[in-house]
Structure 1
Amino acid sequence: MEQEKYAIIDIGSNTIRLVIYTRDKSGRFSESENVKAVARLRNYLTDDLTLSEEGITVLIDTLKSFQEVTRHHQLEAIKCVATAAVRQAENQETIIQRVGEETDFTMRILSEYEEAHYGYLAVVNSMSYKEGITVDIGGGSTELTLFEGRELIHFHSFPFGALSLKKQFIEGDTPKKSELKALREFIESQFLSLDWIEGKNLPLIGIGGSARNLAQIHQEQIDYPLSGVHQYTMKRKDVEETNKWLGSMDFDELQRVEGLSRDRADIIIPAVEVFNCLMELIDAELFALSRKGLRDGVFYEEMTKDFEMPVFPNVIEESFYDLAIDYDINLTHAIHVTNSALMIVRELVDEGFLELSESDHRWVRLGSSMYNLGSYIDSESSNQHTFYLLANRTIDGLLHKERIIVALLASYKNKNLFKRNAALYEDWYTEEELDKFNIMGAVIKFAYSLNATKRDIVKDIQIESKKEELVFSIQCREDWKPEQYQVEKQKKHLEKLLKKTITVDFHE
């Protein structure tokens, strides 16, 4: 059966990229091909802002190479968009005409607003932040947006990017002290022209290749234990220290930095200076990386064109629905396990055995809904597979630290396995938090055993605390003997953690 495919060509000032999306079995499109060419079109803009014949040739040749790929995949739904390098060119009409005549593509030049808006769309549809400031530094422009309540409030596009800053302020491959001083003063004066960023104390969300490289460099520096950079966070001092470290190197050293693409070695310092300056002005304590950017924003707009708003109502719910489809999770069963787990934690809180925040209740819901997901691969070792899959898969809307919590709960088997899984991440959480997650995981395992036959028989759960005993009163719709057998096997995990004998009383 032929798969539905859709493609976007993003003609940037530094790179040109072709991304192909394929509809998966959940019904949503996911990235299946990603082809990149470092064209550096911004360097072909002359002093009178004309894209030179050499630059147009580079563009056409790159598009022709992409054309071979799109023809191979028999793609018809292709969006081809261009940003600052072409937008700033005085001969943009000639460029559009040449592209139309010499390639299969019809090129559309994005306005400053469109470029900023697509970056904003990518962030709010793939991250859980309700408010923040986004920065997308390309080769020839830098877009900032401010969003509150997940709505775009302000945007601005500056006519400078990492390539143009390098060209304007830095003569060699790396900056001298005087060049760096001039660069910083220029960046600061430009950002201070906006009256809506200073002192906002919001997270700064970085979009694009330079932001991604910054995150990758930091991950390599600290031997980060997880894969993936989407939703990776750094503190302000981390950005400052990485900026100083990069600035202390000569060009040969920069080219060998792990996590830094060789084609960005000469422009990474101007880009990180932009992030560093913005964090100071905003008074941002957190830098978060969005791997989703302009292309994804264009894609989200296309995919939500029949919606009233091009913003998903709940990013995490969308992500977990996709997980459920991908791993053939029985949604009715998952909902029932979740309801039972929430009833049990509610009773344990009332009896004084647990103190849970609103976030903790969310982790119980998410961990329950994904419990035993790894049985999709192998039922005998489903716990290990569950932890690995959830810990290492990007889940839009969940920060890395939150992803590990859900992985620990959804993969819970016993206290020892929990400790082994948590070992690499122990310094991410307090001892009290880990103890609490341990109990929450044991509750989810207990709740899962209450629906062992997937008949959804549990109606209500009450807990009464007696001297050395906890009495679980389980009200059922029909015969409970198979569930009773499983519960008697599994209750020992909760008994050890709560330091109480558990008696389970089933009744209609």
Structure 2
Amino acid sequence: MKKISLIDIGSNTIRLVIFEYTEAHGLREERNIKTPARLAQYIDNQGVMTEEGIDALLKILHSFKQISDKYDIEEIYPVATAAIRQSENRNDIIQRVKDELDLDVKIISGDQEATFGYEAAVHTISYYDAVTIDIGGGSTELTFYEDKNLIYKKSLPFGVVTLKSMFFNDREHNDKKAIKEVKKFVAEQFKKVNWLPGRNVPILAIGGSARNIARIHQSLISYPIAGVHGYTMTRDNLQTVYKLLKSTDVDDLDSVDGLSKDRADLIMPASIVFNTLFDVVEATEFKFSRKGLREGLAMSIISRDYPTAFNKYRVFDDSIKQLTNDFNIDETDANKRTEIVDRLYHQLERFDILNLSRETKMIMKQAAGIYYLGDFIDRDASSQHTYYLISNSNINGISHRDRVKLALIASFKNKTLLDFYAKETGWFDDEELDEIQSLGSLVKFANALNISNTGIVDSLRLSQTDEGYELIIKYNGDPIAEEYYALRQKKHFEKIIGQKLWIEFTES
């Protein structure tokens, strides 16, 4: 286990995150505490951070150091971005922090900031090609990656705090002239980045402003599941949020669901930036990553001791593995159940009964591994707990829609409950629900064939007869429990094949 304390000294907020890494559970947040600082507003016309700003910084860092000490954390990493990076007296600020708090603040460059954001996104989102944007208080970082490899990066010297200062000073957040000026300025800045226009790829948005935009939209549509990581918006969705903000009087901004009070006066510049970028990139969609600079930096630090800790090509698999460990699912049982469901599927595929896409087959197999993880909470209500835990968990490398599909398969008990759960989102038509029911039935039957967790099933083969189908199961050990449960669950398998099924257990 490795535990570190990371302090992100941004232009708008300062945040303490205590990270814990274990091989079983991966990288996890133990504590996440933020406080608004607005350091960018303390930089005077000569580019010098005032004494008031430095005092505010020292006070917050002192508090965060005390919190870290209470957790017995020796490795504290304070990192500073645009506000201090752009201050003419940055060396004096760093020295003051060292002298008064014995903390070594590292100023990271715009390029480093962009790289850490990319690393976090590529390790938690499954896309192989994308443009990333991380808009902070005083700078905006952009990257383009292809085949999960970083190709371009750029740091632009403006953020939501500086945009507000430049264009909205003494103006309302929805002032028409200010909005027009911001749009023109931001479009010009983006078009100067010659690798950005017309990329025609998804945009991955990082940071607090992006999360607020996502939460506002989720509130508008009464989004049925939790979390903004992996949440996707279209251009029309972005425009809807922008129009809402533009039409809302400043006194009514507090009533906008999903909008943080700390960002109410900064959200309009952020909305303009995102809408403008979407048009410049000619993006296919706008997706949000809850992971950014801090996670990318934490991965970099932890990788020094654990070089193989993070794999950008196994995002979904690793996330499921961590979920399995979180709920104490027996690895041997999960692997055997996954093996059986895969064999059953291939038998059905031979007779052209089931033909799944590669992606759906992967979801089915992962669902088999975490089948009924709700047992961890209450065995009598295992299906219900399984559905709500998975559908509302932050699972990396998978869309929200596929996450709900995974939950429906892993929680399958009967058609009545399936229909009840599916109504929550209303995302699947009858044909899709029929397929989900088949896959849930297959997983449930696979679970019956290893109900004793003794791994007795050696092989199985499905054959067609004049009266239906016969499933011959070869076993090693004592199959008494598996025989009983397989017969109980046989009706689910018969639903898939549409005919009668005879099961024969034969010693291998």
TM-score, structure 1 as length reference: 0.96
Quote the offset at 1:430 in angstroms: 2.8
Deviations 1:337-394 (A, max 9, x none): 1111111112222212222111111011111000121112222221112112111111
> AA paired with 1:52?
T
State whether structure 2 residue 157 is matched by structure 1 residue 162.
no
Deviations 1:174-218 (A, max 9, x none): 132121111101101110111212111111111000000001101
Q: Give unpaired runs (5+ residues) of structure 2.
A: none
Contact 2:174 2:245 (8 Å CA) reproduced? no
Q: Give unpaired runs (5+ residues) of structure 1.
A: none
Q: Secondary structure of the equivalent of 2:424?
A: helix
| Residue number in structure 2 paired with 1:66 | 64
> AA paired with 1:17?
R
Contact 2:174 2:247 (8 Å CA) reproduced? no
CA distance in structure 2 between the aligned counterparts of 1:311 and 1:410, rounded to whole angstroms: 25
Q: Secondary structure of the equivalent of 1:380?
A: helix
Q: CA RMSD in A?
A: 1.7
> AA paired with 2:112?
E
| Residue number in structure 1 paired with 2:148 | 150
| Residue number in structure 2 paired with 1:298 | 297
Relative to 1, partners in 2 of residues 1:307 and 1:23: Cα closer, same or farther, differing over 3 Å? closer
Quote the offset at 1:89 in angstroms: 0.7
Q: How does 1:484-499 map to 2 (within 5 A)?
A: 484-499=483-498
> AA paired with 2:141?
E
Relative to 1, partners in 2 of residues 1:489 and 1:310: Cα closer, same or farther, differing over 3 Å? closer
> AA paired with 1:348?
L
| Residue number in structure 2 paired with 1:287 | 286
CA distance in structure 1 between the aligned counterparts of 2:69 and 2:309, rounded to whole angstroms: 33
CA distance in structure 1 between the aligned counterparts of 2:333 and 2:229, rounded to whole angstroms: 30
CA distance in structure 2 between the aligned counterparts of 1:7 and 1:309, rounded to whole angstroms: 18
What is the count of residue pairs matched by the alignment? 505
Quote the offset at 1:437 in angstroms: 0.8
| Residue number in structure 2 paired with 1:395 | 395
Deviations 1:15-68 (A, max 9, x none): 001111235683534211111111101111112211111111111111122222
Q: How does 1:23-102 map to 2 (within 5 A)?
A: 23=21, 26=24, 28-102=26-100
| Residue number in structure 2 paired with 1:252 | 251
TM-score, structure 2 as length reference: 0.96
| Residue number in structure 1 paired with 2:319 | 319
| Residue number in structure 2 paired with 1:141 | 139
> AA paired with 1:115?
E
> AA paired with 1:100?
K
| Residue number in structure 2 paired with 1:409 | 409
Relative to 1, partners in 2 of residues 1:310 and 1:95: Cα closer, same or farther, differing over 3 Å? farther
Contact 1:124 1:311 (8 Å CA) reproduced? no
| Residue number in structure 2 paired with 1:219 | 218
State whether structure 2 residue 192 is matched by structure 1 residue 193.
yes
Q: Secondary structure of the equivalent of 1:473?
A: strand
Contact 2:2 2:302 (8 Å CA) reproduced? no
Relative to 1, partners in 2 of residues 1:493 and 1:332: Cα closer, same or farther, differing over 3 Å? same
Q: Secondary structure of the equivalent of 2:45?
A: coil
Quote the offset at 1:459 in angstroms: 2.2
| Residue number in structure 1 paired with 2:181 | 182
CA distance in structure 2 between the aligned counterparts of 1:214 and 1:129, rounded to whole angstroms: 21
CA distance in structure 2 between the aligned counterparts of 1:292 and 1:57, rounded to whole angstroms: 29
Q: How does 1:97-496 map to 2 (within 5 A)?
A: 97-171=95-169, 172-305=171-304, 306-307=306-307, 311-426=311-426, 428-466=427-465, 468-496=467-495
CA distance in structure 2 between the aligned counterparts of 1:265 and 1:173, rounded to whole angstroms: 11
Relative to 1, partners in 2 of residues 1:358 and 1:25: Cα closer, same or farther, differing over 3 Å? closer
CA distance in structure 2 between the aligned counterparts of 1:34 and 1:455, rounded to whole angstroms: 42
User: Larger deviation: 91-100 or 3-12?
Assistant: 3-12
Contact 2:82 2:139 (8 Å CA) reproduced? yes
Contact 1:25 1:326 (8 Å CA) reproduced? no
Contact 1:349 1:355 (8 Å CA) reproduced? yes
> AA paired with 1:213?
N
CA distance in structure 2 between the aligned counterparts of 1:224 and 1:469, rounded to whole angstroms: 44
Contact 2:26 2:309 (8 Å CA) reproduced? no
CA distance in structure 2 between the aligned counterparts of 1:398 and 1:320, rounded to whole angstroms: 10
CA distance in structure 2 between the aligned counterparts of 1:387 and 1:362, rounded to whole angstroms: 18
> AA paired with 1:376?
F
